[in-house]
Structure 1
Amino acid sequence: MPFDSWWYNCVSLAVDTQLYHLGAMRLQRNGLMAHRRTFHWPSLLTESGRGIAFGGDYNPDQWPEDVWDDDIRLMKQAGVNTVALAIFSWDRIQPEKHRWEFGWLDCIIDKLGKAGIAVDLASATATAPLWLYEQHPEVLPHDKYGHPINAGSRQSWSPTSPVFKEYALTLCRKLAERYGTNPYVTAWHMGNEYGWNNRYDYCDNALHAFRAWCERKYGTIEALNAAWGTTFWGQEMNGFDEVLIPRFMGADSMVNPGQKLDFERFGNDMLLDFYRAERDAIAEICPDKPFTTNFMVSTDQCCMDYADWANEVDFVSNDHYFHEGESHIDELFCSDALMDSLALGRPWYVMEHSTSAVQWKDLNIRKRKGETVRDSVAHVAMGADAINFFQWRASAFGAESFHSAMVPHAGEHTKLYRSVCELGAALKTLGDAGVQGSELVRSDTAILFSAESEWATRSETLPSKKLNHWHDVRDWYRAYLDAGTRADIVPLKYDWSGYATVVLPTVLMLSAADTARLERFVRDGGTVVVGYASGLIDENFHTWLGGYPGAGDGMLRTMLGIRGEEFNILGAQAEGEPSEIRLSNGMVTRLWQNDIAVDGADTEVLASYAGTQADEWELDGTAAITRNPYGKGMAYFVGCDLNVADLAVFVGDHLTVGQACEAGDGADYDPTITLHTERASAEAIFDFYLPRGKNETVVSGISGEPVYRFQCDEGEAPGVYTIRRNGVLVVKRYNRQ
């Protein structure tokens, strides 16, 4: 298929212009337009350059060349239109220090391009060739015990190693020189899952880089001593040459929490710097094609501060692997809600997910009938315009040979490959209908996520080691679904002032500036919900004083109208002690209770601790959930941990009044068991309906054109559909002019 750079640029300009008008308001709302790279979506090799991208990681170097043509035959049959190529291929590209082999890569890119399959070309730096490690063992990262993390897996390199960076950037430039003008290469895939194996590096290079990072941040050693509170345990430093990284200090030793938090920030920044260096090395030669790297966002992992990383890519990408069990689809929606915010409402890219089971979990559950298609369309329902898998063909050997793929070990005559073909057809249907480029319609509630609070909850110096900020975000998200509505998930550092309600689930760390933002939000008429372990420390891990939660030198307490003196922590380890405490409204808490006094004149107690277990801990009658009017708004305090069911009751009773779940143009359905999202473009609104559980669901009063039905039956009456388990209904409504 003929495709040249002129056409590529024209198509990209047209797509970017359309998306700019759709997304500019959200960019301005988040105050990030000046700090973001210009959005640039990769074109396909279609006549228009548009369509929903579909494909996956392709590793032809694992297979003899006589398999390649069959791969492309099967790709075309499945509707694949893009692949990520050469992610782990550095050793094939540069088999020796002074020898480069591009012939095989030239051949496969040409075969793919002529078949109409675009290439997202990797920088190939995720794994280095073994000769590099043999010649330069100093590039290896070290663990906290001082042991080198040896080669043989992925990311076995230190991001602070100048030697490794020199080799990596040379590779980047070589790839850019060779493929920068290739019409079949339409995007650059930098690295792969940065931080997977080198998020924490304790080598001497890292030590020197950390000292320089601290000096840039603090300026003087006195400022660093104050930030880390080094007078505790006699850790005061006389100069930055005495700064240490938190290496192993003994089996029972506790790390200075301020030092550990800064080391987390440093690790994030060092890898982000490495990504920028790779990107810029290619951009100097090939500036016209978009750059991305795959984030790792699910509610079981979010190792980087992706709110910062999102500023440095031309389009946001994510690797998401499903959570087994009954929370499967809810967790997918939760993770995707954060991705939509990171993308500022622009389309985003599923770079990896799985067709069925993986092989790296303790329990590797396969997907049931329809889940491969359902999960993929669910990502589209949450704003994704690209659906890709790891990987195209299941490996015959190696560490991930039992990881599911688009073509399984049993070949093309399989249920799995047939479902891949079914998905390819579905995505083409959605693309042809105009879904690509439309934006997810936001909700009126923002659940705030903070990577730094997630890092902080891992500290061993807190009242409980069972805190988990990201899991609490997930629980609140699911509670909103159970209450029949949907929330967005927004990074704390973004601008969330346009929402009606914000929720802070275990946002342990709040700076004075962020507390002031909350105060203005409530004073101006917003509703804030503060969770039980929020606002306890500042950005340096210093405990706010004067009572809990003390953020903003007591500003948060004033907003809430309460003052806490102590935490009550429960656990099964305390034999003979109550393992749970009931509330006066029937809810139950099992981990953490705040012992608070109500200070505000207008503060209302919505529930208190009650019963014999509460009395045992001297909490009987103590306020557990409160509400306080503040300015023109309202501030709630949920002073104890609650399960999803109890949170849903709270949301339904107090936070959804006048906020009924939006139904597409008069549609009738049960929002507690049916997921519904809207994606809107200038021309149309696309309604996506998916059952949350195992049972079928009925939706009625549906107007508009049903553009895609999967495991979904149309009823005898107009506008009535029965969506069976793992089914999907997508309806298109045209905007009224």
Structure 2
Amino acid sequence: MSKTDHHDRRQPQPYRPYRWPKEPDGHSGGIWFGGDYNPDQWPEQVWAEDVALMKRAGVTMVTLGIFSWARLEPSDGVWDFGWLDRVVALLGEAGIAVDMASATATAPYWLYQAHPEVLPVEADGTLVHPGTRQSWRPTSPVFRRYALRLCRVMGEHFSDNSTVVAWHVGNEYGWNNATDYSQDALKAFQGWCRRRYGSIEELNQAWGNDFWSQRLQNFDQVPLPEHAGVRDAFINPALRLDFRRFCSDALMDFFCAERDQLQELTPDKPLTTNFMVSTDQCVLDYERWSHQVDFVANDHYFAHGPGHLDELLCSDSLVDAYAQGHPWCLMEHSTSAVNWRIFNASKRQGELIRDALAHVAMGADAVNFFQWRQSAFGAEAFHSAMVPHAGPNSAIYAQVANLGGILRRLSQSGLAGTQLEPSSIALLFDADCQWSMADSTLPDCSIDHWQQVYIWYQALLDAGYRADVVPLKGQWERYDVVVLPSLILLDQDQADRLRDYVSGGGRLVVDFASGIMDDHMHVGLGGYPAVLRDLTGIASQEMIALGTSDQGGGSILVSEGIEGNIWVNEPLSIEDSVRVLARYQGSRSYDIDMAGKPAVTIHGYGQGRVLYLGTGFTKESLVSVINRIFPPDFFTGAAGRGLHNGRDGDPRLVHLIRSGPQGRYHFYFNRGSTVVRDVSTMGETLVVQRATPYSGGGLSGNRYTIGVHGVVVTRQ
């Protein structure tokens, strides 16, 4: 195991020095543009046409070799780099850089046939067979030996190749092996627990093992949370949570081993791997992973529907936080439809370019698609690409080429290297909280921490504000307002940070499901939210699940036209200094004995203030709470930064700013379903997509009507 495996995950990790890929001639300063290139799927005579089309579209970098292990090593210890060398040479002659993959994402069949013991195991004991991606267990010493041999050969082969400017280590770790219940995993998990807890008694206490006679006598008795019969849901929640932490760490340790092998041989080439951050998943603890890469990279695929752009911005905000404000790489997104959802919607007119520019506005200095040429066979044949089945005489390729020109123009203006200007509002996210809410022993199993973050993000946009999404373990003290969206787990150290923050003048929003348990899923005693009671000035004695109308329940009225959902916290005690902003009312409140009791309160603490929400809200209801119940100065107040950082009054408009030595770059996006008229912009115009000069008065040079899916970019 590498040295990262021995690191105590409860202690802060140092970040690796930030390194960004430089152009083959050693210069840097542009926005990288390209995508995954899989020439091994095509006859060699197609390669020259590919490179010519790439040049026409403005492609500057491609990723090679992600799934090429079987071509590179057709049998054990036999190597064939001739075809890959010819591709790299073609690209290099055209001035197109290569982000070279370690090719370890999927092993060749000869390895699986010789060593079936590398295959992962599911919770019910089922073996995961080869035939898809990542059919390997990260804790297998056998697989690690083969993978690191491949990394060594790859590193030696391309160590002096100037066309290769970066390493793409692995690919989407955890896509098919996020958890593994093999004997290798059991042995590694027992070692992980030994290092984390030190003594078996500390582990027994952390896991609450006196419940149901689960006390362990030594670390060799530590189990995996395997399938345990029809009531599998009642496996120890603390064990499950630690197992998810371990699985993320085990994959991270495997990545670090690959990274270190490649870095030893090619110290001048930065290394990364592609995260998978979107609001519909939380595969790994990317906050921890972000410390282990030279630059952050992410794969993002759009969510079809009216929240398309909002979801993109919310996900990217967290990616930008993981990147510590440094430019990051959009490693994959799609030109149009994907092929792995039940319903695979196509992108609508303008969304291909709008989405790419939204990623750039949120801090991406590299825009890449999966993939360059649409596959003619295999599991992703109907996944869209830069060159679709129809070929270059298609609308998609034309849009790709248009985008390449736009990114070249932005690069020439000096945009690359600038940073996204922050909001004044932070929404805190934590992978542990997300994983803990997958446990079916909670008061309401429908609640989802990541979705609550997204609900807050959208509601703030609709109310006229933009927030940043920041990891709980990150740096959020500089924000004027911090929101805890169902941050169900809070340890004492994080609670003390919040206490210091508010005492010093910060404003905190605590919602109904925050601060309920500690980081071992032990419930805080004395009334919810236990570790935050002094901040909220209120303690609750019971969580009353509201359910849905189908379940014989329903919402509860908080104020005229504003309804709460999920559950309500029944107050036990309220300090005299608490001011009630809204109370429960209506027939449902009488049914559950909550009529007239506080629903939304505010409490002064030190120099700051704490808003407390005693129930959950839909996005629409939360907009009303923000606009009608929150104090008018809560988001603006003394700092006066509420609308300044990202919003211009009309909630259909998103205004983002990147700034640096070359100036401030303003991105104006229409997030609505109707045109936005008379948008006043600042500086010289660089990009106008689906927008026209406004003719309704004023100076036509700096006012625009922005159509649906439209964007205007200016430099001030």
Task: Please tell me the TM-score bracket, short chain as reference.
Answer: over 0.9
User: Sequence identity, in percent?
Assistant: 47
**Number of paired residues?**
695
- Give the secondary structure class of the aligned counterpart of 2:615: coil
Q: Which residue of 2 aligns with 1:593?
A: 568
CA positional deviation for 1:662:
4.5
1:399 aligns with 2:411: no
Is residue 566 from structure 1 mapped to residue 566 from structure 2 by the alignment?
A: no
Unaligned segments of structure 2, at least 5 residues: 1-10
Deviates more, 1:421-430 or 1:653-662: 653-662
TM-score by length of structure 1 reads 0.92
Q: Which residue of 2 aligns with 1:651?
A: 626
Determine which of 556, 560, 566 is the counterpart of 1:581: 556
Q: SS at the partner of 1:626?
A: strand
C-alpha change, 1:558 and 1:47, in structure 2 (3 Å) is: closer
Structure 2 residue 16 is matched with structure 1 residue 37: yes
Q: Which residue of 2 aligns with 1:506?
A: 486
Amino acid at match of 1:509: L
Answer with 646-655 or 580-589: which moved more.
646-655
Write the distance in 2 (CA, Å) between the matches of 1:430 and 1:196: 34
Secondary structure of residue in 2 paired with 1:583: strand
Alignment of 1:469-480 (within 5 A): 469-480=449-460
Matches within 5 A, 1:51-62: 51-62=30-41
Q: 1:479-507: per-residue Cα shift (whole Å, max 9, x none)?
A: 11111111111100112111111000010
In structure 2, distance between residues paired with 1:485 and 1:413 = 42
- Indicate how the Cα distance of structure 1 residues 350 and 699 shifts in structure 2: closer, same or farther if over 3 A, else same: farther
Residue by residue, what CA displacement relative to the aligned partner does 1:548-601 show, whole Å, maximum 9, x if unpaired?
A: 1112xxxx11110111010111223765x3411111343102211111145211
**SS at 1:567 equivalent:** strand
Residues 366 and 464 (structure 1), Cα distance of their counterparts in 2 relative to 1, 3 Å cut: same
Distance in 2 of aligned mates of 1:163 and 1:397: 31
Whether 1:425 aligns to 2:401 is no
Taking a change above 3 Å as real, the CA distance of residues 670 and 657 of structure 1, as seen in their structure-2 partners, is closer
C-alpha distance in structure 2 between counterparts of 1:119 and 1:449, whole Å: 34
Q: What is the letter of the counterpart of residue 332 of structure 1?
A: L
Give the equivalent residue in structure 1 for 2:3. Answer: none
Superposition pairs of residues 308-323 of structure 1, within 5 angstroms? 308-323=288-303
Is 1:246–1:260's contact at 8 Å kept on the other side of the alignment?
A: yes
How far 1:725 moved relative to its partner? 1.3
Map of 1:138 onto structure 2: 117
In the alignment, the residues of structure 2 paired with residue 500 and residue 600 of structure 1 have an alpha-carbon distance, to the nearest angstrom, of 25
CA distance in 2, matches of 1:174, 1:239: 41
Alignment of 1:634 with 2:609, yes or no, is yes
Aligned to 1:241: 220
Distance 1:381 1:732 in 2: 12
Q: Distance in 2 between matches of 1:678 and 1:102?
A: 45
Match of 1:397, SS state, is coil
More displaced 10-residue stretch of structure 1: 490-499 or 184-193: 490-499
Contact 2:547 / 2:567 at 8 angstroms: preserved in 1? no
Give 1:45 shift: 4.2
Superposed CA deviations along residues 497-532 of structure 1, whole A, max 9, x for unmatched, are: 111110000101000110011111111110000111
Q: Does 1:295 align with 2:275?
A: yes
The aligned amino acid for 1:329 is L
Instruction: Name the CA shift for 1:547/1:259 in 2 (closer, same or farther; >3 Å).
Output: same
2:104 counterpart SS class: coil
The alpha-carbon deviation at position 699 of structure 1 amounts to: 3.9
- Which residue type is aligned with residue 293 of structure 1? T
Q: CA deviation at 1:455?
A: 0.5
SS in 2 for 1:151: coil
Aligned partner of 2:533 in structure 1 is 557
1:374 maps to 354
The answer as to whether partners of 1:558 and 1:600 remain within 8 angstroms in 2 is no
Q: Secondary structure at the match of 1:241?
A: helix
Question: Would the aligned equivalents of 2:24 and 2:164 in 1 still touch at CA under 8 Å?
Answer: no
Deviating beyond 6 angstroms after TM superposition, the runs of 4 or more aligned structure 1 residues are: none
Aligned to 2:581: 606
Structure-1 residue corresponding to 2:428: 448
* Secondary structure of 1:192 counterpart: coil
SS in 1 for 2:432: helix
The answer as to whether partners of 1:597 and 1:622 remain within 8 angstroms in 2 is: no
Whether 2:706 is the aligned partner of 1:723: answer yes
Letter in 2 for 1:626: T
Q: CA deviation at 1:460?
A: 1.1
Q: What is the aligned partner in structure 2 of residue 26 from structure 1?
A: none
Paired with 1:362 and 1:579, the residues of 2 have a C-alpha distance of 29
What RMSD over aligned residues (CA atoms) do the two structures have, in Å?
A: 1.6
Asked whether the 8 Å contact 1:560–1:627 carries over to 2, the reply is yes
Aligned partners of 2:289 and 2:544: how far apart in 1? 38
> Once the 2 structures are TM-superposed, how far is the Cα of residue 48 of structure 1 from its aligned partner?
3.9
CA positional deviation for 1:700: 4.0
SS at match of 1:361: coil
Distance in 2, matches of 1:220 and 1:310, equals 29
Q: C-alpha distance in 2, partners of 1:187/1:61?
A: 20
Please state whether the residue corresponding to 2:427 is helix, strand or coil.
strand
Could you tell me which runs of 5 or more consecutive residues in structure 1 were left unpaired when the two chains were aligned: 1-30
- Residue from 150, 168, 183 that aligns with 2:129: 150
**Once the two structures are superposed, what CA deviation does each residue of 1:41-89 show, in whole Å capped at 9, x if it has no partner?**
1023478433111100000000010110111111111101100100000
Distance (whole Å) between structure 1 residues aligned to residue 239 and residue 422 of structure 2: 38
CA contact (8 A) 2:464 2:648 kept: no
1:467 pairs with one of 442, 447, 454: 447
Distance in 2 separating the partners of 1:163 and 1:638: 52
Please list, as runs of the form range in 1=range in 2, the aligned pairs for 1:242-257 lying within 5 A after superposition: 242-253=221-232, 254-257=234-237
Corresponding residue number in structure 2 for 1:694: 673
Q: What's 1:194 paired with?
A: 173
Q: Superposed, which structure 2 residues align to 1:159-308 within 5 Å?
A: 159-253=138-232, 254-308=234-288
Q: Partners of 1:63 and 1:466 in 2: how far apart? A: 46
After superposition, the Cα gap between the structure-2 partners of 1:612 and 1:336, relative to the gap in structure 1 and judged at 3 Å, is: same
Does the alignment pair 1:356 with 2:326?
Answer: no
- For structure 1, which segment, 566-575 or 374-383, has the greater mean C-alpha deviation from structure 2 after superposition? 566-575
* Paired position in structure 2 for 1:620: 595
Q: TM-score, normalised by structure 2?
A: 0.95
Aligned runs of 1:525-540 on 2, under 5 Å?
A: 525-540=505-520
Q: 1:98 Cα shift?
A: 2.2
Q: Secondary structure of 1:590's partner? A: strand
- C-alpha distance in 2, partners of 1:502/1:544? 22
CA distance in 2, matches of 1:508, 1:368: 38
Q: Deviations over 1:237-260 (max 9, x none)?
A: 111111100011002231100100
Kindly provide the CA deviation profile for residues 362-387 of structure 1, in whole angstroms up to 9, marking residues without a partner as x. 11100011100000000011111110
- Do the aligned residues in 1 keep the contact of 2:564 with 2:621 (CA within 8 Å)? no
How far apart, CA to CA, are the structure 1 residues paired with 2:665 and 2:370? 28
User: Secondary structure of the equivalent of 2:378?
Assistant: coil
Contact 1:509 1:539 in 2 (8 A): yes
Take 2:375 and 2:193, find their aligned partners in 1: how far apart are those partners? 44
Letter matched to residue 526 of structure 1: G
Contact 2:432/2:489, CA 8 A, preserved across alignment: yes
Question: Which shifted more, 652-661 or 171-180?
Answer: 652-661
Read off the aligned partner of 2:692 and give its amino acid letter.
D
Counterpart of 1:111 in structure 2: which amino acid?
L
